[in-house]
Amino acid sequence: MDRIILHSDLNSFYASVECLYNPDIRDKPVAVGGSVESRHGIILTANSIAKKKFGLKVGEAIWQARQKCPNLVVVPPNYGLYLRFSKEVKEIYKDYTNLVESFGIDEAWLDVTESTKLYGTGKSMADEIRKRIKEELGITASIGVSYNKIFAKLGSDYKKPDATTVITRDNYQDIVWNLPVKDLLYVGRSTFKKLSNVGILTIGNLANSPLSFLKKLLGRWGEYLWTFANGYDAAPVVKLDHEGIIKGIGNSMTTPRDLVNNQDAQMMLYVLADSVAERLRKHNFRCNTIQIYVRDNELTSIDRQAKLGYSTFVSGFIAEKAYEIFKNNWTWEKPIRSIGVRATDLVTADGYMQLSLFDDDNKRIKKEQIEGCIDDIRKRYGHYSVQRALLLTDNKLNRNPVEENIIFPVSYFR
């Protein structure tokens, strides 16, 4: 028997919550956007008026959006409020199944296969969930119903707002295969360009392309996308309280201004290493490998990594290795727009450690103790109560990425 999977997508989520809390702007074009001063000056979401009447799009720069819509109301994001609504929506989902998998703050898959014995068909459950979200929370959702996660997600995008779309084995070729190939999960800008260059413009074109050709064109992603397009995806919906094995801890940021020299990059790497080290200690891990990610102002990026000579959760050691990797791989042909640091090859922090004949292990232990003290101080007095002297030379680059990051969707692959 086929599974019954729902994908629920809260319509224009951030903007809907803002309009709910501010009746004066409900009938106006509204967008939620990041701070222009912090370089997050883009549209995160917009309400139906802004999108349908003025053609505003997610990811568009605020200054461009204002050219289309001079009377646009732009409000800053309130993530605490959105998280509260997200949790309340999940409480509704839990009434129907414990197999609820979040895909970002405003989307989730539900496996309701066994729930049909109590609540009827997948469509009837989807309609009931939409009704409850609207009546109990004052916002709307679009829900796709299908026999796999990929088609369910395409269904939630097919009709908006406040709609249910059912995609079955009998109708998926009529619905899914006629959609643009860029609508398929994980067909980004680069992949779309490669596919369109060889005449693959719809999901149907992709589904009917030889698998061997797609693997040559896209590598392993070619096989993934071919599987998605043909409805062969069998990925399970994980339980609501499921926590996957942590394989790495990282953080990246869009920089408050373009980075133009090594000192700028070093400062940001220390900021990011500080947050990575703090989270390593919180989860009781040490790392053995450091990765960096760098993207220039024309959106070209690189990823590089290197091994440490020892496992650590000390921010200074992580930052020093990250900076070493950076200097060995970045040539400054263009300014930097975003940068990231990631710690991998994790081991438990309280496990045995191999002592070194050449390094000062006592110095390493003292630094670990100091960082533990810094954690305690920051818990009580806030992140900026203890800061590196280096970061005081540029207040714009001195950030707290643990608390100031935008929330992005989690990966489909676990």
| Residues assigned a catalytic role | 107
Q: What are phi and psi of 36, to 5 degrees?
A: -65, -40
Contact 73, 26 (CB under 8 A): no
Residue whose pair of structure tokens reads 């309400």 in the numeric block: 47
* Cα distance between residue 230 and residue 207, in whole Å: 5
End-to-end CA distance of the chain: 25
Contact 286, 347 (CB under 8 A): yes
Residues 6+ apart with CB under 8 A from 90: 100, 102, 108, 240
Nearest to residue 339, comparing CAs of 293, 289, 272? 293
Residue whose pair of structure tokens reads 């969930």 in the numeric block: 129
Report strand pairing: 43-46 vs 73-75: unpaired
Distance of CA 200 to the CA centre of its chain: 27
User: Is 70 exposed, middle or buried (CB count within 10 Å of its CB: 0-12, 13-18, 19+)?
Assistant: exposed
What DSSP line would sit under 32-87, residue for residue?
EE--TTTT--BEEEE-HIIIIIH---TT-BHHHHHHH-TT-EEE---HHHHHHHHH
* Cα distance between residue 354 and residue 352, in whole Å: 7
Q: What share of the chain is helix, strand, coil (3-state, %, to 5)?
A: 45, 20, 35
* Cα distance between residue 353 and residue 359, in whole Å: 13
The number of helices, as runs of H, and strands, as runs of E, in the chain is: 17, 13
Residues 6+ apart with CB under 8 A from 81: 17, 21
Contact 251, 340 (CB under 8 A): yes
